[in-house]
Structure 1
């Protein structure tokens, strides 16, 4: 699972950097919250999870790791698309942000449980 996390995190990094470049070129920074969350939850958090899973393969091969991976990668696009619409003035997008955010929190809690349970000396 570690390599999968690292590889997909690079995709989020490209999206986040391209969004940042777009905002810089247009001097319109409405999507800053989307940019920040993609880079933090997509690039940084997933890269770190991947590196932890590479360092501790016992934790990487658990069902918790697999569920964490899928929850993270389902939640983040839902939350970011919803957030993009929300900051664009579409108030009806609020539930998408809430659903994506809730799934993300669940995925991160499963990651924490997995690390606490399966990462050992």
Structure 2
């Protein structure tokens, strides 16, 4: 079930994000703070909430649309913060990565809106 996968992936991403935050604090180098924040929010919190919704509303989580939404969000949740990190460390010539990642995340969110509205009518 996609909800369980999303919840498991979210806690791994959140642990990685928290560890990255600790490393930044130890080094007193907060250059990657925006990437860290997006990783925790999009990859940790949102992914867990989506997975929880799918676990609580199994009819919503057992659809092809939910699987597409889940995989899109999991991909975007890694691509977007990684792209932000690359831009922060390598420069703006790499802006395509966070742009692509953010568009994937927005597309996944739009699909989730459709899923929630469909399942709330059922």
The TM-score, its normalising length taken from structure 1, stands at 0.94
Give the ranges of 4+ consecutive aligned residues of structure 1 lying more than 4 Å apart after TM superposition: none
82-91 vs 60-69, which moves further: 82-91
Hey, what does 2:54 align to over in structure 1? Answer: 53
Per-residue CA deviations over 1:79-108 (Å, capped at 9, x if unaligned) read 122110111242121011111100110001
Task: Write the distance in 2 (CA, Å) between the matches of 1:91 and 1:46.
Answer: 28
Q: Tell me if the contact between 1:79 and 1:100 (Cα under 8 Å) persists in the aligned partners.
A: yes
Q: Is the aligned partner of 1:88 residue 2:83? A: no
104-113 vs 72-81, which moves further: 72-81
Q: Tell me if the contact between 2:6 and 2:74 (Cα under 8 Å) persists in the aligned partners.
A: no
Query: Could you list the runs of 5+ residues in structure 1 that have no partner in the other structure?
Result: none
Hey, what does 1:16 align to over in structure 2? Answer: 17
Q: How many pairs were matched up?
A: 121
